[in-house]
Every structure is written in C-alpha cells, then in structure tokens.
Structure 1
C-alpha cells in the first residue's frame, strides 16, 4: 500500500510540474543576432487590369452614396487583386510572380485619387522563387507625374522579416477603364 501511495504521489508531482511548465505562452527571450542584414533591390512591373473578360482586379464592394456607377474606382470601392508581376511593361513580358491582396479607394477628390492597399508581392520565378514582400500603405495614385512611395511591412522566404519601401511610377494608365501598368522599384532590408 505504501508503494502505491508513493507512486501515486510521484505521478501527481510530475503531472503538476509538467502542467505548470506548459501553461507558459512564451519561450525564453534571448538577444537576436542582427548583424546579417541584407539589402536587395528589385524592379518589376505590376499589371492592374480592371477591364475585359479576364480582369486581374475586381471591385468586390462599393458605397452607394459616394460614387457614380460608371466610375471604375469611386470613393469607398474595395478591390481584390491577383495582378501579374512581369520583368518588363509589355503585356507579353516574362511573368515572374503575382501581387495578391486588396485596395480601397480612400479619397473623395478624384484629383487627389489615393488608394490604401495591402498586397503580398510573390515571386514565382528566378532567384526569389517562393519568396514575397508584403506592402501595406497609402498609395497617392494621382501623383502619377512623379514617383510615389509605399511601405514594405514584411516578407517571407528569402525576404523574411523584410522592411523597406517601394517607389512606384505609373508606366501607363487608361483613365476610362482604370487599367494600369506600374513600375515597382523595391528596396528591401531583410535577413
């Protein structure tokens, strides 16, 4: 009887010890080795096509009160995107990835047209195949004469823990359809 009581007591102590240690939601904090940071610059073109039978951007919601039905990108419109990323601006240029995410038209004034976008810019070819950079930023589209800048807020694969910025320049835009080809020059800091 004493041996059963002793075994039961030891089992109970072990259970309490294991339960106490597994209740923690965090691990040991230790200094990170951040001396291996790299900077990579990549240039590609994003094709955002709203028109035709096979668009790469589609409006999934819009506010009834703020835009005309014939406006391709009225204020409050929300778009889902699956835009091709290519080496050059031409339609038949080599595809190297895709930009998937969404953007919302965030300005009432068409002369100051701005979108707020989230996109995962994934590479499916070449050196960065399987990697991506994530952007989440305000994009002042109406500043098409010059470059505008959006923030890189993360990444995966070779761009793990990415931060940085993308300079965007409008290569071509059709104001009637909203179709655009944009040059992206990304400066990516990563490990």
Structure 2
C-alpha cells in the first residue's frame, strides 16, 4: 500500500472514531426531562375554587353504590359493620343538595379500607377516590383524593393529590362532614367542602 493510501486510511479511521465518540457523547448527555413554564401548555394564573356538594353512600336496595369487595378476616361483625381489614368499592352519586333526587353533578369512584384495629370504637378509613364532574363549567374534569378519614372526628380532612381537565395541577384539601346516617339501612349522606388550587386551564381538547 502506498504512503498516500495509508494516509487516507488513517484519516478515515480518525474521522470515524471522532464521529462515533461524538454520537456516543450526545447519547450519554441526552436528557429525558426539561424545565418548562405552565404558559407553554396554555395555562394562565393559578386560582382557588371552593366546591360544595353531597356524597351518597348507598349500601342497601336493588342497586347499592357501595359493595364490600374484601371481607375482613375478623369473623365477629357484631361490634362493627366494617372490621379491621375490610375493603369496599364505591361509585357514589354526588348531588347539589342533600337529597338523592337533587341535581346530579357527578360521581365518586374509588375505594376505602378499614385501618383501625379497634374499629368498633374508632372507625378509621384510608380513602382513595376520584370525583368526576358532569355538570356546568367543570363537566368532564376530575379531582382525586387520597388520605385518612377518621369517621368519629368532628373535623375530617383529606388531601387532594391531583386532577384532570379544568383541575390539572390540582392541590388542596377536602373536608367531609356527615350530614345524615340511616342506622337501619346503613346509608350515609356526607357533605363535602372542597378547596382546590388549580390553573385557569385551556380547553379540554388542548393537545399536550
């Protein structure tokens, strides 16, 4: 091989090595995240909204909205209808007023489980649920709750962990207050006051 051919081969080898190194370096330094402003998604100023509605937990009748999906291993149900370890699944109607035939504004879908070993004295639940709204400005939007609900406590509070639609980036808290209990049927009506920070959102069809 001539000296000129050797020189060309060496040059090509060096070029290939450099290009491979640069390609590898760019792959290593590539990031899967970036910092952006909410305005890049079409969001404007953050605001605080107060919602008030009534939650109906219906356990009797032809179409209950709550069912016990996992029975507690504790066999004695005489002291508490939901002994330690019970898990219930719900799809409860949300209404504007305390009566079930009041204007339906949405539904609560989720679960709750008994986490107190002395449930007959202190019924404590861990609740995870999503409020889906079907009426007015927030039609199609959701708020998700996850937290501890001490039923016997005069003041109950659970955190908002997120939301969708008009409640994207949601944060805040809810305060449930028992409005009425039917001790014969087991049905419960709960007043919910919801305090949620969220952005003035673009249309639900806004593409991200």
The normalised TM-score by structure 2 is: 0.75
Deviations 1:3-52 (A, max 9, x none): xx9xxx7x989986886677x4x222246669821000010000011112
My pick for the range that moved more, 86-95 or 173-182, is 173-182
Say if 1:126 and 1:31 are closer, same or farther in 2 by CA, change over 3 A: closer
Secondary structure of 1:116's aligned partner: strand
1:29 aligns to 2:56 (yes or no):
no
Pair 1:112-2:122 in alignment:
yes
Tell me if structure 2 keeps the 8 A contact 1:72–1:178: no
Deviation of 1:73 (Å): 2.0
Describe how 1:39-188 pairs up with structure 2 within 5 A: 39-65=48-74, 67-68=76-77, 71-107=80-116, 108-143=118-153, 146-188=154-196
The CA RMSD measured in Å over matched residues stands at 3.1
> TM-score, normalization: structure 1?
0.81
User: Does the CA contact (< 8 Å) of 2:79 and 2:120 recur in 1?
Assistant: no
Counterpart CA distance in 2 for 1:177 and 1:74 is 18
Secondary structure of the 1:111 match is coil
Cα distance between partner residues in 1 of 2:186 and 2:27: 58
2: CA distance between counterparts of 1:57 and 1:116?
15
CA distance in 2, matches of 1:138, 1:99: 16
**Following the alignment from structure 1 to structure 2, what is the Cα–Cα distance between the partners of residues 105 and 129?**
32
Contiguous gaps of at least 5 residues in structure 1: none
Count of matched residue pairs: 187
Whole-Å Cα distance in 2 between the matches of residues 190 and 76 of structure 1?
Answer: 35
- Give structure 2 stretches of 5+ with no counterpart: 1-7, 200-208
Deviations 1:29-81 (A, max 9, x none): 24666982100001000001111221001000022226427953222110111
Aligned residues of 1:66 and 1:76 also touching (Cα < 8 A): no
